[in-house]
Copies of this chain bind each other. A is one copy, B any other.
Amino acid sequence: MEPQPTTVERPKQLQIADDIRIRIERGELRPGDSLPTLQEICRQWSCSMNSGRAAITLLREQGLISGGRGKAPTVRMTPRMVTRSSERHREEKLRVLLPEDERRKLGVAETDMGTSLDELRLSVSYDVVPAGEELAEQFGIGPADEVLRRAYELNDPESGRREAWSVSFIPRDLIVGNPALLDAENEPWPGGTQHQLHTVGIELARFIEDVTAQMPTTVDRQRWGLDRGVPLLRIRRAAVDVHDHVVELSNADFPADRTRLQFVTDLPRW
């Protein structure tokens, strides 16, 4: 539990930050508007510069403001939200049985990360590594058994900022039937992961996705070009085949200020 002062008066930085937050929520300060300058804050609330700064830091941490260096911080403009729907999984499965020239329109990167490759730089790395305790338990294999580890990262070549990131694991034994799957040079694969699994006779029955959120570290913030106060959405996904075996595990991160995760749950008819 967060330590809270038990003083009769609330801390000044909290009072200031809340006052300004309320002005933002009321719409008196709109996205893009500048906050009062630090000096004005200190005058209006009669506090020292450092307390005023602390209030600004609090607002930043709540994701309400951005910018500031050299000019007053501004009320944060919400970036365009990109929706990433679970319907992709079903569409990808349908596409697997199409001829290659149809499939070719979508590679693993697009279907797994939900972004287009246009004007982005894709880094792919393939490794064969021991599964380790955690993965082994999920896959029902031994910890020393090998898994194929595939890491994808998309960067904006201009800013260098990360736009998408994911890492996935497949037990090596499952894909020995098609050695081409072990070669990163074949990326992007026409049709995505489901088609790759299809080439070794695996049909998927469902995806199980666990969603959590956490604050990025300072280096993560820099990598993604994130404002302070923006969480990362984390998806841990298991792909289950028609025999109820987990055949792929993947992790992916998404910046919460520009990502909306959509999940559709169909209900059986009465």
Q: Which 4 A-B residue pairs are closest in the complex by CB-CB distance?
A: A3-B69, A213-B213, A231-B231, A263-B263
Which residue of chain B is the closest to A1 with respect to CB atoms?
B225
**Given A1-B66, A61-B215, A264–B206 Cβ distance below 8 Å?**
yes
Cβ-defined contact, B216 with A62, below 8 A: yes
* Interface core residue of A83, A94, A233, A267 (most chain B CB under 10 Å): A267
A interface, over-half SS:
mixed
Can you tell how many copies of this chain the complex includes? 2
* CB-defined A-B contacts under 8 Å, sample of 25: A1-B67, A2-B221, A3-B68, A18-B218, A18-B219, A50-B50, A58-B218, A63-B215, A83-B210, A86-B265, A89-B265, A89-B267, A90-B268, A97-B270, A203-B269, A205-B269, A206-B266, A209-B264, A209-B265, A210-B262, A211-B211, A211-B233, A211-B261, A242-B269, A263-B263
Which residue of chain B is the closest to A62 with respect to CB atoms?
B215
Hey, what's the 0/1 contact readout for A195-207 against B, CB within 8 Å counting as 1?
0000000011111
* Interface core residue of A2, A203, A217, A261 (most chain B CB under 10 Å): A2
Cβ-defined contact, A205 with B267, below 8 A: yes
Hey, what's the 0/1 contact readout for A57-79 against B, CB within 8 Å counting as 1?
11001110011110000000000
Cβ-defined contact, B210 with A260, below 8 A: yes
Hey, what's the 0/1 contact readout for A204-245 against B, CB within 8 Å counting as 1?
111111111111111101100111111111000000001000
A229 to chain B, nearest CB (A): 5
C-alpha spacing A89/B230, complex, angstroms: 30
A12 within 8 A of B: no
B-side contacts of A261, CB under 8 Å: 210-212
